[in-house]
Amino acid sequence: IISSLPRWLLHTRAQIVIPSVWERFLPHLVSDIITDHLNIQVSDRLIPLPDHGGRLSLSDSEIIVLPAHFLHSIGNFSFYDVHARILFSGDIGSSAANQSSGFVSDFEAHTAAMAPFHQRYMCSNLAARYWVAMVRRLDVNMIIPQHGPGFSDPVMIEKFLSWLELLPTGLDVLDPNLYQIPKKTDDNFR
């Protein structure tokens, strides 16, 4: 997504809302040709978000920017539309399901499509528990992940939150046997 930054700058007048932790890195994605053509500094168009998140006005509504750090990026956020009561969770809740849209109807079956991604990419259960506790304080009508079906039924939303809250991920499932010096063979990368 962020690789399209030069096009956003070139073809729109949009301000780019980004995690403050990434603010110093993003200008490197934009060539001098574009900044010279536009006669701008990339930083002039960036709105850095602090780690604790914030609130953005959007037309007649408000978007609450919720910290979701290490789930799976260090500067990750989820977005909650106050009016629609929809939580756009990013990769949290994403799945490798064949179903790319719609809503989860069989949660237990769906966990098989979510678990491998979450266990590999989400940093730790601690981050997930903090996020779940925060989300439970919102009046959520839907949780819409970036990939795969969403959660719209209150029972499914609660099942998802309870599942994520207990799921060992990342550092929790790290296997010390991975940290071995590879044996010398003729065929290491095949």
Q: Give me the pLDDT at residue 186, please.
A: 63
Classified as helix, coil or strand, 109 is helix
Question: What is the C-alpha to C-alpha distance for residues 45 and 77, in angstroms, rounded to an integer?
Answer: 19
- pLDDT (0 to 100) of residue 34: 76
| Pair 174, 165: CB distance under 8 Å | no
Q: What is the pLDDT of residue 81?
A: 97
pLDDT at 129: 98
**Residue 188 confidence (pLDDT):** 63
Residue whose tokens read 């919102």: 138
Which pLDDT score, from 0 to 100, does residue 27 have?
75
Q: Where are the alpha helices (DSSP H) in the chain?
A: 5-11, 32-38, 107-121, 125-135, 154-166
Tens-digit pLDDT profile for residues 72-119 = 999 999 999 999 999 999 999 999 866 667 999 999 999 999 999 999
| Domain parsing of the chain, residue ranges | 1-49, 52-173
Q: What pTM was computed for the model?
A: 0.87
How many other C-beta atoms can be found within 10 angstroms of the C-beta atom of residue 125?
21
Query: What parts of the chain have a pLDDT lower than 70?
Result: 1, 97-100, 186-190
Give the class (CATH, top level) of 52-173. Answer: alpha beta
Length of the chain counted residue by residue: 190
**pLDDT value at residue 99:** 66
- For residue 4, the model assigns a pLDDT of 82
Look at the block and give the residue holding tokens 């700058």: 9
Label the pairing between strands 46-49 and 54-58.
unpaired
Rounded CA-CA distance 161/167 in Å is 10
* pLDDT for residue 190: 60
